[in-house]
Amino acid sequence: MTEQIQTISYRETGLDAAERNKVLRNTYWLLALTLVPTVIGAWMGIATGIGRYLSGGLGLIVFLAGTFGFIYAIEKTKESGKGVAVLLGFTFFMGLMLSRMIGMVLGFSNGTALVMTAFGGTAGVFFLMASLATFIKRDISGMSKWLFVGAIVLMVGSIINIFIGSTVGMLVISMMAIGIFSAYMLYDIKQIIDGGETNYISATLALYLDLINVFQSLLALLGILGGERD
């Protein structure tokens, strides 16, 4: 009976097991590739000092305009090879936007260790969520509405805190972001596994946003709580 229900579910998505595995495999490969332009963008942002100008209201405007513009372009081109190019362009842009925070953390005497710890922590969260998504058999699509509400609350809180500049607010927002986007990671991977997401470019975009938010939040926490001055 269970096998019959699973067969019906897979037919509704139009993907059999081999096709779903292909989408997942392509998503993971493309996700790994997105790290290259992200690192290049972050390095260029630090080397040129452009990150210093991406703060406050101006930084927020550039970030929102660039992010939503790229996401719109990716969704319009996701059925062709152009979608991959636009996605990689977006990850370069995100690297530039991250350069200010990374540069600030690297200003600590233990800055390199903090950045590597944040990267390792993000990788750990990803592997944990990927493993959970593989073992969880129940439908978790109902999570989406609660995660969306949480993301909206988080975004509003982040915008307010940009102008307030509260360290405590940053700590709270960072901890919330780690929880929300880790859960989003689980949800997005499960969607691919269950056949709910059939386009690997869209799937990569969703997971990339999850990862970058977890990394940024971990880096902020580590910088606030563990940064050491000479």
C-beta pairs of 9-13 under 8 Å, 24+ apart in sequence: 9/194, 9/195, 10/195, 13/194, 13/195, 13/196, 13/198
Total of domains in the chain:
1
**CA gap 162, 55 in Å, rounded:** 9
Provide the domain limits for residue 42. Answer: 2-226
Find the length of the chain: 230
**CA gap 107, 115 in Å, rounded:** 11
Q: Evaluate if residue 87 carries a pLDDT over 90.
A: yes
Among residues 111, 134, 129, which one has the least CA distance to residue 210?
129
Among residues 76, 95, 88, 89, which one has the least CA distance to residue 199?
76
**CA gap 195, 197 in Å, rounded:** 5
User: Tens of pLDDT along 21-43?
Assistant: 899 999 999 999 999 999 999 99
User: Tens of pLDDT along 98-148?
Assistant: 998 998 899 888 889 999 999 999 999 999 999 999 888 888 888 888 999
Q: Evaluate if residue 9 carries a pLDDT over 50.
A: no
